[in-house]
Amino acid sequence: MEQILEMVNIVKTFPGVVANNKVSFEVRKREIHALVGENGAGKTTLMNILYGLYKPDGGDIIIAGEKTSIDSPIVAIEKGIGLVAQHFMLIEPLTVAENIILGLETRKNKIFTDMRKANQKVKELSELYGLEVDPTARIMDISVGVQQRVEILKILYREAQILILDEPTAVLTPQETKELYKVLFSLKEMGKSVVFITHKLNEVMDISDRVTVLRGGKAIGTVNTSETDATQLASMMVGREVLMRVKKEGKKLGEAVLELRKVSAVDSRKLPALKNVSLEIRAGEILGIAGVQGNGQTELVEVLTGLRKATSGEVMLKGDSIINKNSRSIRELRVAHIPEDRNKRGLILDYDVADNLILGPHYKPPFTYRGKRNLQNVWQNARNLIAEFDIRTPSYDTKAETLSGGNQQKIVVARELGGDISLLVVSQPTRGLDIGTIEFIHKRILELRDKGVAILLVSAELTEIMSLSDRIAVMYDGNIVGILQDEEAKEEQIGMMMTGISKVDALRGEESD
Amino acid sequence: MTNTRKGKCAKYFEVALYPVIATCLALLVGVIIMLVTGHNPVDAYLALFEGAFGSSVAIAETLSRSTPLFLTGLAVAFAFKCGLFNIGVEGQLHVGAMAAAVVGCYLTGLPAIAHIPLTLLAAAVVAGIWAGVPGYLKARFRTHEVINTIMMNHIAIALVSYLVVHVFRAPGVIPRTSTILPSAQLYRFIEFSRLNIGLFMAMIALYLIYYLLWKTNVGYEIRAVGHNDKAAECAGINVKRNIVMAMVISGMLGGLAGAERIMGLHLSFIQGFSPGYGFEGIAVALLGRNHPLGILFSAILFGALANGGFRMSMATAVPTDLATVIQAVVVFFVAAEQLAKLFIKRRKKGRLAE
For the segment B182-197, what is each residue's pLDDT rounded down to a tens digit? Answer: 999 999 999 899 999 9
Q: What local confidence, expressed as pLDDT, does residue B316 receive?
A: 86
Of the ranges A232-241, B58-67, B215-224, B296-305, which one carries the lowest mean pLDDT score?
Answer: A232-241
Q: How far apart are CA B18 and CA B4, in angstroms?
A: 22
A440: contact with B, CB 8 A cutoff: no
**Is A256-334+420-512 in CATH node 3.40.50.300?**
yes
Does B352 have pLDDT greater than 50?
A: no
What rounded mean pLDDT belongs to chain B? Answer: 91
Written as one string, the DSSP assignment of A29-79 is TT-EEEEE--TTSSHHHHHHHHTTSS--SEEEEEETTEEE---SHHHHHHT
Does A73 have pLDDT greater than 50?
A: yes
Longest CA pairwise span in chain A (Å): 76
Instruction: Sketch the domain layout of chain A as residue ranges.
Output: 3-80+161-238, 94-158, 256-334+420-512, 346-418
Nearest in space to A333 (alpha carbons), one of A261, A410, A264, A424: A424
Q: What local confidence, expressed as pLDDT, does residue A448 receive?
A: 92
On the question of a cis peptide bond just before residue A366, with omega within 30 degrees of 0, the verdict is: yes
Q: What local confidence, expressed as pLDDT, does residue A244 receive?
A: 57
Residues of A in contact with B353 (CB under 8 A): 54-55
A18: contact with B, CB 8 A cutoff: no
CATH classification (class only), A3-80+161-238: alpha beta
A346: contact with B, CB 8 A cutoff: yes
Q: How far apart are CA B93 and CA B1, in angstroms?
A: 44
Q: Which residue has the higher pLDDT, B212 or A149?
A: B212
Q: What local confidence, expressed as pLDDT, does residue B346 receive?
A: 61
Residues of A in contact with B232 (CB under 8 A): 348
User: B159 near B292, Cβ under 8 Å?
Assistant: no
Does B213 have pLDDT greater than 90?
A: yes
> What residue of A is the nearest CA neighbor of B218?
A371
Does B11 have pLDDT greater than 60?
A: yes
Of the ranges A241-245, A415-419, B170-174, B329-333, which one carries the lowest mean pLDDT score?
Answer: A241-245
Are residues A331 and B354, on separate chains, in Cβ contact within 8 Å? no
Q: What local confidence, expressed as pLDDT, does residue B50 receive?
A: 93
Are residues A373 and B233, on separate chains, in Cβ contact within 8 Å? no
Pairing of strands A193-198, A17-28: unpaired
Q: Which of helix, strand or coil describes residue B48? A: helix
| pLDDT tens per residue, range A332-350 | 999 999 998 888 899 999 9
Q: How far apart are CA A446 and CA A421, in angstroms?
A: 14
Does A168 have pLDDT greater than 90?
A: no
Q: What local confidence, expressed as pLDDT, does residue A1 receive?
A: 61
Residues of B with CB under 8 A from a CB of A: 1, 4, 215-218, 220-221, 223-224, 227-228, 230-238, 352-354
Q: Which domains does chain B have, with CATH numbers?
A: 17-353 (1.10.3470)
Q: What local confidence, expressed as pLDDT, does residue B252 receive?
A: 98
- Dihedrals φ, ψ of A501, to 5°? -80, 135
Q: Do domains A3-80+161-238 and A256-334+420-512 have the same CATH topology?
A: yes
- DSSP state, residue B186: P
Nearest in space to A175 (alpha carbons), one of A458, A462, A432: A462
CA B4 to chain centre: 31
Cβ partners under 8 Å of residue A434, min gap 6? A38, A39, A40, A199, A237, A406
**B7 to chain A, closest Cα gap in Å:** 11
Of the ranges A144-148, A493-497, B5-9, B172-176, which one carries the lowest mean pLDDT score?
Answer: B5-9
Of the ranges A146-150, A166-170, A184-188, A350-354, which one carries the lowest mean pLDDT score?
Answer: A166-170
- DSSP state, residue A344: I
CA A398 to chain centre: 25
Burial of A191 (0-12, 13-18, 19+ CB in 10 A): exposed
